[in-house]
Amino acid sequence: MKELKLQVEKLADEELKRSMVKFPLFNSTHEGWAVLKEEVEESADEMLYVEGNIKCVWVQLKKNNQENAIEYIKELKESATNLAAEAIQVVAMASKFLESFKDE
Protein backbone atom coordinates (compact mmCIF):
# COMPACT_ATOMS: atom_id res chain seq x y z
CA MET A 1 0.00 0.00 0.00
CA LYS A 2 2.86 2.38 0.79
CA GLU A 3 4.26 2.08 -2.74
CA LEU A 4 0.80 2.57 -4.24
CA LYS A 5 0.30 5.74 -2.19
CA LEU A 6 3.63 7.06 -3.45
CA GLN A 7 2.47 6.43 -7.01
CA VAL A 8 -0.82 8.23 -6.30
CA GLU A 9 1.11 11.21 -4.95
CA LYS A 10 3.27 11.20 -8.08
CA LEU A 11 0.19 11.13 -10.32
CA ALA A 12 -1.40 13.91 -8.26
CA ASP A 13 1.75 16.03 -8.68
CA GLU A 14 1.56 15.47 -12.45
CA GLU A 15 -2.13 16.44 -12.44
CA LEU A 16 -1.31 19.56 -10.43
CA LYS A 17 1.33 20.57 -13.00
CA ARG A 18 -1.18 20.04 -15.85
CA SER A 19 -3.79 22.12 -14.06
CA MET A 20 -1.32 24.94 -13.42
CA VAL A 21 -0.71 25.27 -17.18
CA LYS A 22 -4.40 26.00 -17.76
CA PHE A 23 -5.34 27.60 -14.45
CA PRO A 24 -2.98 29.41 -12.06
CA LEU A 25 -3.16 29.24 -8.28
CA PHE A 26 -6.56 29.98 -6.75
CA ASN A 27 -7.48 33.64 -6.39
CA SER A 28 -9.49 33.08 -3.22
CA THR A 29 -10.26 30.40 -0.69
CA HIS A 30 -13.83 30.43 -2.02
CA GLU A 31 -12.61 29.59 -5.52
CA GLY A 32 -10.38 26.84 -4.15
CA TRP A 33 -13.24 25.41 -2.11
CA ALA A 34 -15.54 25.39 -5.14
CA VAL A 35 -13.00 23.51 -7.28
CA LEU A 36 -12.36 21.01 -4.47
CA LYS A 37 -16.09 20.56 -3.89
CA GLU A 38 -16.64 19.79 -7.57
CA GLU A 39 -13.90 17.16 -7.58
CA VAL A 40 -15.19 15.59 -4.36
CA GLU A 41 -18.72 15.44 -5.80
CA GLU A 42 -17.43 13.83 -8.99
CA SER A 43 -15.61 11.24 -6.87
CA ALA A 44 -18.78 10.57 -4.89
CA ASP A 45 -20.75 10.10 -8.12
CA GLU A 46 -18.24 7.54 -9.36
CA MET A 47 -18.41 5.71 -6.02
CA LEU A 48 -22.17 5.45 -6.45
CA TYR A 49 -21.59 3.77 -9.82
CA VAL A 50 -19.09 1.36 -8.22
CA GLU A 51 -21.56 0.48 -5.47
CA GLY A 52 -24.41 0.06 -7.95
CA ASN A 53 -22.35 -2.19 -10.18
CA ILE A 54 -21.21 -4.47 -7.35
CA LYS A 55 -24.83 -4.86 -6.25
CA CYS A 56 -25.80 -5.79 -9.79
CA VAL A 57 -22.99 -8.34 -9.95
CA TRP A 58 -24.30 -10.00 -6.81
CA VAL A 59 -27.88 -10.06 -8.13
CA GLN A 60 -26.70 -11.69 -11.34
CA LEU A 61 -24.55 -14.23 -9.50
CA LYS A 62 -27.46 -15.21 -7.26
CA LYS A 63 -29.42 -15.87 -10.46
CA ASN A 64 -26.48 -17.92 -11.78
CA ASN A 65 -26.19 -15.50 -14.68
CA GLN A 66 -22.44 -15.34 -15.02
CA GLU A 67 -22.54 -13.62 -18.42
CA ASN A 68 -24.44 -10.60 -17.07
CA ALA A 69 -22.29 -10.57 -13.94
CA ILE A 70 -19.18 -10.29 -16.10
CA GLU A 71 -20.68 -7.34 -17.96
CA TYR A 72 -21.31 -5.57 -14.65
CA ILE A 73 -17.74 -6.36 -13.57
CA LYS A 74 -16.52 -4.60 -16.73
CA GLU A 75 -18.64 -1.57 -15.82
CA LEU A 76 -17.38 -1.77 -12.22
CA LYS A 77 -13.80 -1.73 -13.44
CA GLU A 78 -14.45 1.36 -15.58
CA SER A 79 -16.22 3.16 -12.72
CA ALA A 80 -13.45 2.27 -10.28
CA THR A 81 -10.86 3.61 -12.72
CA ASN A 82 -12.84 6.84 -13.01
CA LEU A 83 -13.12 6.99 -9.22
CA ALA A 84 -9.36 6.65 -8.85
CA ALA A 85 -8.79 9.42 -11.40
CA GLU A 86 -11.25 11.71 -9.63
CA ALA A 87 -9.61 10.98 -6.28
CA ILE A 88 -6.23 11.89 -7.76
CA GLN A 89 -7.75 15.19 -8.89
CA VAL A 90 -8.95 15.80 -5.32
CA VAL A 91 -5.39 15.28 -4.07
CA ALA A 92 -4.03 17.61 -6.76
CA MET A 93 -6.56 20.36 -6.03
CA ALA A 94 -5.97 20.06 -2.28
CA SER A 95 -2.26 20.55 -2.97
CA LYS A 96 -3.08 23.51 -5.20
CA PHE A 97 -5.22 25.01 -2.44
CA LEU A 98 -2.41 24.64 0.08
CA GLU A 99 0.09 26.12 -2.36
CA SER A 100 -2.24 29.02 -3.15
CA PHE A 101 -2.51 30.10 0.48
CA LYS A 102 0.72 28.88 2.05
CA ASP A 103 1.80 32.41 2.98
CA GLU A 104 -1.43 33.27 4.76
Rounded to the nearest integer, the mean pLDDT of the chain is 96
Measured CA to CA, the distance from residue 69 to residue 88 in angstroms comes to 28
- What per-residue confidence (pLDDT) applies to 67? 97
| pLDDT, mean of residues 74-95 | 98
| pLDDT, mean of residues 68-88 | 97
- Spatial CA neighbour of 85 closest among 28, 30, 26, 43: 43
| CA geometry: angle 19, 20, 23, nearest 5 deg | 80
Fill in the amino acid letter for 84. Answer: A
- What per-residue confidence (pLDDT) applies to 104? 72
- What per-residue confidence (pLDDT) applies to 64? 97
| pLDDT, mean of residues 12-36 | 96
